[in-house]
Amino acid sequence: MKFQDLKNFFILIFFFTISLFFLINNIYAESPYFYSCVLAATPTVIQTPVVTITSVPTTVPTSTSFPTSTPFPTPTSLPNCQLKMGTGERTKADLVVLAEDYNNNNDFLAAVDKAVVALNKTNLGTARLGKINLWALMDLNQTFFKGFNCPTANGVTVACWDHVKAFNLAASKCGGDSYLIFNNDTHRTGSIGGISIWGGTYIYNFALDQPTVPHELGHSLTGLMDEYSFGIAAPAGAVAGLNCSELPSQSQTVPCPKWANRFPNVGCYPRCGFTNFYRPAVRSIMDRGGTGAVYDFNEPSLIDGWDEMLKLFP
């Protein structure tokens, strides 16, 4: 074999190896790997203002998610899961809306759009909402409701639904961390707009124009308590929760002792669920709905509730 032939052979092996490496790892000249690892890692090389690079992260996984084995397609293409809010990055908190008794996709998606509007009306802001993906699971054939009189351990009966089924569907189909069931008012009773347990919530269609979705997420995601009156004093051992205080301050406009150091601008107003607990603001979204309902969370709810809940999501 001539020297030239061997040289060509080695060059061929060299490029074959390189090509195989790139192919197996799904690396392309325009792939997110290059955007995130090559371009983002060498910003100083580019002298002129580069608009394209700063705009890339909206569709490209961040450097924290690299290297991954699934660089594309974008997460919005998850089968049956339609992204309605957020970027779709898998590192975010994923909330999945499940449909019950909707007759067509358009009605269901219009309902989910109302939820997005309601979330954007709150004071959660872009930083917090930016850590959340809201997905709609396009499966209208599921039922979840079990009845209005499900017993609980302490004798109280509550409306209930199949939580295990709902969570499994949300997690297995869309990678959900929590779920919201939207019921098309088929199991509606009175003026109840939504019901929550920690980890999931059940919301009626008629209530979607109200602050129902963010209020219920306050329960199901962050564990916030209601701030309206239950009409009774707290029984022994009742826990106030992070947005209520067991102890009053010397006046309503002075923060309750538990908030005095960290939230000097809040107050200490009588009634926070139980009549002998105290709330940090006159009105907040965790108060009752209907006339006078507001969309804003109070400061302890935002900082100790939402920020704490979202801190593990980049």
Partner 1 sequence: MAKIKIIFVIVVGFALTVLTSTYLSKSKINPSVSHAAVKVVLNQTPDYRLSLKSLSGESSYTSDYKLKIPFGYYNVKIIGDRGEELFSGKVEKNRVNFPPYEIDGAKESDSSVATLEPLKEMTLLLPYFKNGKKIIFFDENNLEKYQVDIEKIGLPEGFLKNLCGNGICDSGENVIFCYNDCHKK
The yes or no reply on residue 31 touching partner 1 (CB under 8 A) is yes
Alpha-carbon distance of 241 to 277, in angstroms, equals 10
Structure tokens given for 279: 């709330």
The yes or no reply on residue 294 touching partner 1 (CB under 8 A) is no
How many residues of this chain interact with partner 1, rule: CB under 8 A? 89
Identify which of residues 71 and 255 has a Cβ nearer to partner 1 in the complex: 71
Structure tokens given for 231: 């009409």
The yes or no reply on residue 222 touching partner 1 (CB under 8 A) is yes
Query: 218: closest CA among 159, 95, 288, 302?
Result: 302
The yes or no reply on residue 262 touching partner 1 (CB under 8 A) is no
The yes or no reply on residue 64 touching partner 1 (CB under 8 A) is no
Could you please report the per-residue DSSP string of 101-139? S-SSHHHHHHHHHHHHHHHHHSS-HHHHHTTEEEEEE--
Residue 119 beta carbon to partner 1: minimum distance, rounded to whole angstroms: 15
Residue 21 beta carbon to partner 1: minimum distance, rounded to whole angstroms: 5
Identify which of residues 43 and 308 has a Cβ nearer to partner 1 in the complex: 308
Query: Which of the stretches 69-77, 97-105, 117-125, 138-146 binds partner 1 when contact is defined by CB under 8 A?
Result: 69-77
Residue 192 beta carbon to partner 1: minimum distance, rounded to whole angstroms: 4
Residues 113-132 that bind partner 1 (CB under 8 A): none
The yes or no reply on residue 296 touching partner 1 (CB under 8 A) is no
The yes or no reply on residue 237 touching partner 1 (CB under 8 A) is no
Residue 83 beta carbon to partner 1: minimum distance, rounded to whole angstroms: 14
Alpha-carbon distance of 274 to 228, in angstroms, equals 8
Q: Which residue has the tokens 């872009």?
A: 126
Alpha-carbon distance of 71 to 245, in angstroms, equals 47
Cβ atoms within 10 A of the Cβ of 206, count?
15
Which stretch of DSSP H or E encloses residue 19? helix 3-24
Query: What track of x and - describes contact with partner 1 for positions 263 through 282 (by CB under 8 A)?
Result: ----------xx--------
Identify which of residues 176 and 267 has a Cβ nearer to partner 1 in the complex: 176
Q: What are phi and psi of 306, to 5 degrees?
A: -65, -45
Query: Which of the stretches 113-121, 122-130, 260-268, 306-314 binds partner 1 when contact is defined by CB under 8 A?
Result: 306-314
Specify the long-range contacts of residues 304-312, CB closer than 8 Å, at least 24 apart: 304/242, 304/243, 305/218, 305/222, 305/223, 305/224, 305/242, 305/243, 306/124, 306/128, 306/221, 306/222, 307/128, 308/222, 309/93, 309/221, 309/222, 309/223, 310/93, 310/128, 310/131, 310/132
Residue 268 beta carbon to partner 1: minimum distance, rounded to whole angstroms: 20
The yes or no reply on residue 80 touching partner 1 (CB under 8 A) is no
Alpha-carbon distance of 194 to 289, in angstroms, equals 10
Identify which of residues 249 and 294 has a Cβ nearer to partner 1 in the complex: 294
Residues 187-216 that bind partner 1 (CB under 8 A): 190-199, 206-207, 210, 212, 215-216
Query: What track of x and - describes contact with partner 1 for positions 148 through 187 (by CB under 8 A)?
Result: ----xxx-x-xx---xx--xx-xxxxxxxxx---------
Residue 70 beta carbon to partner 1: minimum distance, rounded to whole angstroms: 5
Q: Give the count of alpha carbons within 13 A of 260, CB side only.
A: 10
The only residue of 35, 61, 71, 227 in contact with partner 1, by rule CB under 8 A: 71
